[in-house]
Amino acid sequence: MNQSTHVNRQITLAARPNGAPMPNDFKLLESPVPTPANGEMLLRTLYLSLDPYMRGRMSDAKSYAEPVGIGEVMVGGSICRVEVSNHGDFEQGDLVVAFGGWQDYSVSDGVGVIKLDKTMQNPSYGLGVLGMPGLTAYMGLLDIGEPQVGETLVVAAATGAVGSLVGQIAKLKGCRVVGIAGGQEKCDYAVNELGFDACIDHRSANLDEQLAQACPDGIDIYYENVGGKVFDAVLPLLNTKARVPLCGLISQYNATELPVGPDRIGLLMGNMLVKRIKMQGFIVFDDYGHRYKEFQDAMVPWLISGQIKYKEDKVTGLEQAITAFIGLLQGKNFGKLIVRVGPEQLDFGAKS
Ligand SMILES: NC(=O)c1ccc[n+]([C@@H]2O[C@H](COP(=O)([O-])OP(=O)(O)OC[C@H]3O[C@@H](n4cnc5c(N)ncnc54)[C@H](OP(=O)(O)O)[C@@H]3O)[C@@H](O)[C@H]2O)c1
């Protein structure tokens, strides 16, 4: 369904999921397009980012951020066009990165909103390679992973928004890079397009054996995106002084209880002690938001020169966000998942 100028479609949280989110945990509502007050602006969503952290916001378990309330619009980063501005720093037609959520229109007071160059060829890149996932890959790898020439790095969700960039940046830093991904097509892409040295399908029966073969000198950096059985395969291969940037645990996000025994904490702690492993979690904007410019200065030239490749998985239509998000948690996306909500042509200033 196309965007209207007078109806605001909104996807709200209808119920907190128990396990994997289901379509009826969401509700598509329609309301009038809101009117911005003084100091505010009306934003029209062109692109919506779908990201794994949104699963956490659907739950009311204690976390680093407040959950979405039942009946509230699902949160999310977006690329928007300013339709009406009563704000001194923005004008109609500006293209911005905002946190507009799963809806056609939102009102903003400008806090946290970043202007984009109106002539930018791929504005949706501001939600991926040049945005939150890019910053996450860059900072987690370089600040916590501290890659050195000749070291072996392993990253899972290897063709996704974060993993694909982690592996490519590690290659630029001189590492041997081994990806782990879901399926042969993704693995082929990681090796043939992204330039990884090897990539292993985490669904294969002998993941442990294949990973050991692909990492003959052990693992110096494991960039953790998924947890679960992938981490179990990685742990015995970690080298002395290995670093583990703890970025995400997507294999656990739909879990309703802790995995059944045996208790492996002793094994993990024993390995960390004897091998002096550094494992450090981080939350990108809390820990590294202030270093965005440093990241951008490095990433833009890499992207322009083709040293970094980037793949988007774009779906069209706000109403597709529900199915696409459920699929993200099952590995159905291939590249950074983006919903095109607004018109294809960025007809600045026009009111289509
Ligand atoms: N700490 C932070 O501040 C921060 C910021 C951004 C992202 N993250 C985390 O980074 C990780 C990657 O995020 P992303 O945005 O780049 O997502 P993504 O990789 O584009 O998409 C998620 C991917 O995770 C993999 N996956 C899903 N379920 C899995 C399972 N049960 N076991 C193994 N793999 C599974 C799938 O890839 P395959 O088909 O290849 O398995 C899926 O395509 C997530 O854990 C996310 O929460 C953390």
pLDDT band (50, 70, 90) for residue 4: confident
Lowest mean pLDDT, pick from 75-89, 129-143, 257-271, 281-295: 257-271
Lowest mean pLDDT, pick from 33-42, 112-121, 125-134, 330-339: 112-121
pLDDT band (50, 70, 90) for residue 89: very high
Q: Is 284 in the pocket of ligand 1 (CB under 6 A)?
A: yes
Question: In this predicted model, which residue has the larger pLDDT, 117 or 303?
Answer: 303
CATH code (residue 316): 3.90.180.10
- The answer to whether position 208 is within a domain reads yes
- Residues 119 and 144 occupy one common structural domain: no
- The answer to whether position 306 is within a domain reads no
Which residues, in sequence order, are CB contacts of 172 under 8 Å at separation 6+?
302, 307, 308
- The answer to whether position 39 is within a domain reads yes
Position 352 pLDDT exceeds 90: no
- The answer to whether position 328 is within a domain reads yes
Find the 171 Cα to ligand 1 centroid distance in Å: 20
DSSP 258: P
Q: Mind listing the pLDDT tens digit for each residue in 160-180?
A: 999 999 999 999 999 999 999
Which residues, in sequence order, are CB contacts of 299 under 8 Å at separation 6+?
129, 130, 134, 138, 308
- The answer to whether position 248 is within a domain reads yes
Find the 124 Cα to ligand 1 centroid distance in Å: 19
- Residues 36 and 168 occupy one common structural domain: no
Position 128 pLDDT exceeds 70: yes
Find the 165 Cα to ligand 1 centroid distance in Å: 12
Is 143 in contact with 135 (CB distance < 8 Å)? no
Q: What is the pTM of this model?
A: 0.96
Please identify which residue in the block is written with the tokens 């940046």.
169
- The answer to whether position 1 is within a domain reads no
* Tokens coding 316: 């069209």
Coil, helix or strand at residue 338: strand
- Residues 20 and 79 occupy one common structural domain: yes
CA of 252, closest atom in ligand 1: 31
- Residues 229 and 243 occupy one common structural domain: yes
- Residues 136 and 271 occupy one common structural domain: yes
Q: Is 53 in the pocket of ligand 1 (CB under 6 A)?
A: yes
- Residues 137 and 282 occupy one common structural domain: yes
CA of 183, closest atom in ligand 1: 39
Which of residues 253, 272, 287 is at a domain's end?
A: 287
pLDDT of residue 121: 86
pLDDT of residue 98: 98
Lowest mean pLDDT, pick from 170-179, 220-229, 279-288, 336-345: 336-345
Mutate to test the pocket of ligand 1, among 57, 201, 250 (most ligand atoms within 8 A of CB): 250
Please identify which residue in the block is written with the tokens 């693992």.
219
Question: In this predicted model, which residue has the larger pLDDT, 350 or 218?
Answer: 218
Position 349 pLDDT exceeds 90: no
pLDDT of residue 330: 96
Number of domains in the chain: 2
Q: Is 76 in the pocket of ligand 1 (CB under 6 A)?
A: no
Q: Is 179 in the pocket of ligand 1 (CB under 6 A)?
A: no
Give the number of other Cβ atoms within 10 Å of residue 6's Cβ: 7
Mutate to test the pocket of ligand 1, among 196, 226, 284, 333 (most ligand atoms within 8 A of CB): 226
pLDDT of residue 191: 98
Q: Is 157 in the pocket of ligand 1 (CB under 6 A)?
A: yes
- The answer to whether position 86 is within a domain reads yes
- Residues 280 and 149 occupy one common structural domain: yes
User: Mean pLDDT of all residues in the chain?
Assistant: 95
- Residues 244 and 260 occupy one common structural domain: yes
Q: What mean pLDDT comes out for the span 248-263?
A: 91
CA of 186, closest atom in ligand 1: 40
pLDDT of residue 351: 40
Q: Is 181 in the pocket of ligand 1 (CB under 6 A)?
A: yes
Find the 24 Cα to ligand 1 centroid distance in Å: 23
CATH code (residue 208): 3.40.50.720
Position 347 pLDDT exceeds 60: no
pLDDT band (50, 70, 90) for residue 314: very high
Q: Mind listing the pLDDT tens digit for each residue in 16-36?
A: 999 999 999 999 999 999 999
CA of 158, closest atom in ligand 1: 40
Residue 200 backbone phi and psi in degrees, to 5:
-120, 140
- The answer to whether position 38 is within a domain reads yes
Q: Is 333 in the pocket of ligand 1 (CB under 6 A)?
A: yes
Which residues, in sequence order, are CB contacts of 199 under 8 Å at separation 6+?
158, 178, 179, 180, 181, 186, 187, 188, 190, 191
pLDDT band (50, 70, 90) for residue 261: confident
Q: What mean pLDDT comes out for the span 143-169?
A: 98
Measure CA 197 to chain center. Answer: 23
Q: What mean pLDDT comes out for the span 239-264?
A: 93
Is 327 in contact with 321 (CB distance < 8 Å)? no
DSSP 119: T
Position 270 pLDDT exceeds 80: yes
- Residues 190 and 249 occupy one common structural domain: yes
Which of residues 248, 272, 287 is at a domain's end?
A: 287
Q: Is 328 in the pocket of ligand 1 (CB under 6 A)?
A: yes
pLDDT of residue 260: 83
Q: Mind listing the pLDDT tens digit for each residue in 48-58?
A: 999 999 999 99
pLDDT band (50, 70, 90) for residue 346: low
- Residues 104 and 34 occupy one common structural domain: yes
Find the 51 Cα to ligand 1 centroid distance in Å: 8
- Residues 175 and 261 occupy one common structural domain: yes
Q: Mind listing the pLDDT tens digit for each residue in 74-86?
A: 999 999 999 999 9
Whose CA is closest to atom 31 on ligand 1?
Answer: 251
Q: Is 226 in the pocket of ligand 1 (CB under 6 A)?
A: yes
pLDDT of residue 345: 60
What is the domain extent for residue 154? 132-287
- Residues 147 and 250 occupy one common structural domain: yes
Find the 302 Cα to ligand 1 centroid distance in Å: 23
